Amino acid sequence: MNHRKWAVITGASSGIGAEFAKQLSADGYDILLVARRQDRLMEVQSSLNGHSEILVCNLAEQQEIRQLTEWIWKNQPVLLINNAGFGKCGEFAQSSVPDSDMIRVNVCAAHDLTLETLRMMEEQGCGNILNVASSAGLLPCGPYMADYYATKAFVTSMTMGIAEELRRKRSPVRIFCLCPGPVDTEFNEVAQVRFSIPGITAEQCVRTAIRGMQRKNVLIVPSALVRTGLFLQKFVPRELVIRIVARSQKRKLASDR
């Protein structure tokens, strides 16, 4: 019988994932750190006080997703932080075939890990899943980041739908969706974007996410400024929201040239 209180964190080598590892480790969880870069995972691991393990895993590869789900079934974690994901800014017509890895990681891996972990947790009779989406997933679409916005809309919609299914059958398992706006991490550099509103720290984002799960808030938006913007956009015609987003994204592209 497994007596460890495991938390599995994907995308744990930096940013929000690394911060989740630090805060959850301090809270008594045993941590499985999952990401592609072993050296960065080892750096994060060295900063943790409690027990932790590393699993080097490229979630764009189905076989490596299977390796992680096998670990999950064997070790029965009580918490999954489904955080792995990335974005890229630019015109859709200029994207290349390797860019489809974004869909494999942001959508397919998030789906498969949610499904397998949910089945395992329902069988063991407890557990929480936090899917990290984005405030982008709460907007109609995102010109110049069309794929990214679409992937995060998938994660948001899937998570909210599952949450209602679990509520209706009074499942002991809970699922949550974290939708941050700008967060000061290396995601911005990888995605080649600069935000027009100030970001919050990864520490603040994770602290708010953990508090939201404790309060059983299915949808967690950690920035008050972003929450206000999302509320106000409900009163603006959809076409105008899309044009505003397009103008903002286009400005980011121009600023990088």
Q: Give per-residue pLDDT as tens, 58-84.
A: 999 999 999 999 999 999 999 999 999
> Can you read off the two tokens belonging to residue 246?
């397009």
Instruction: Give the confidence band of 188 by pLDDT, cuts at 50, 70, 90.
Output: very low
- Across the beta sheet with 173-178, the strand order is 52-56, 30-35, 6-10, 79-82, 127-132, 173-178, 219-220
pLDDT at 3 over 50: yes
* Confidence at residue 65, expressed as pLDDT on a 0 to 100 scale: 97
The domains of the chain are located at 6-255
This prediction has a pTM of 0.87
The CATH H-level (homologous superfamily) assignment of domain 6-255 is NAD(P)-binding Rossmann-like Domain (3.40.50.720)
Quick check: 255 pLDDT over 70? no
| Catalytic residue positions, numbered | 148
Q: What mean pLDDT, rounded, does the chain reach?
A: 89
> Is residue 1 a contact partner of residue 75, using CB atoms and an 8 Å limit?
no
The kind and range of the H/E element at 226 are helix 224-232
Neighbours of 66 (CB within 10 A): 12
| pLDDT (tens digit per residue) in 9-26 | 999 999 999 999 999 999
Confidence bin at 4 (pLDDT 50/70/90): confident
Residue 191 — pLDDT band, cuts 50, 70, 90? very low
Q: Residue range 101-107: average pLDDT? A: 94
Q: What does the pLDDT average to over 188-200?
A: 56
Q: What gap in Å lies between CA 194 and CA 192, rounded to an integer? A: 7
Q: Are 197 and 244 in contact (CB under 8 A)?
A: no
The reported pLDDT for the residue numbered 137 is 86
